[in-house]
Amino acid sequence: MIPALLFVYGTLRKGGGNPLQDVLGAYARFAGEATWSGSLYKLGAYPGAVASSDPARRVQGELYELADAARAFELLDAYEECGSAGPQPRLFARKLTQVTTAGGCGVEAWIYLYNRPVDGLPEIELGDWLK
C-alpha cells in the first residue's frame, strides 16, 4: 500500500500561489508543518529540493495526509513532470523519505525531489521557499 503522506516545500504550500493547491484540498488533509534533511534551490518561479548529507541543512514544508493517494499522485506526477511522459531526465522524481514533524516525530512521506544537476543554481539558504 502507498503511504498516504506527502511533504511539499514549494509552490504547493499554503500561500505558494499555485492553483494545484486545490488538488491537495480535494484529495488531502493538512497534517502540519514539517522539515526534511536537504537543500533547496531556486529554479526560477519554483524551487527544487535535493538530498543533503549535512543534517544542519533543512527544507521547510508542509505535510499532507492523502485520502486518495492514487488519484492525487496521478495529477501531481503529471504536474511535477515525473510521470511516464515528458523530457528525460525527469524534472522531478517522487521518492519516499523520512521527514520530521513540528512535534519532532519522524514519519515516512513522499517528496518530489529535483532530478537534474544543481551546479550554478542559487541555493535558498534558509531552506524556506516562502521566505
Domain boundaries, the chain: 5-114
Break the chain down into helix, strand, coil percent, rounded to 5: 15, 40, 45
Cell numbers standing for residue 31: 497534517
- Which spans in 7-102 are helix H? 21-27, 69-79
- Write down the H helix ranges in 50-117: 69-79
Residue 86, pLDDT score: 64
Q: Cα dist. 96→51, 52, 93, 108 in Å? A: 12, 15, 10, 7
Q: Over the stretch 59-93, which tens digit does the pLDDT of each residue have?
A: 999 999 998 888 889 889 988 888 766 667 889 99
**Under CATH, which architecture does the 5-114 domain have?**
Roll (3.10)
Three-class SS state of 22 = helix
Model pLDDT for residues 103-128, shown as the tens digit of each residue: 999 999 999 999 999 999 999 999 99
Pairing relation of β-strands 47-51 and 5-8?
A: unpaired
Antiparallel, parallel or unpaired: β 28-42 and 47-51: antiparallel
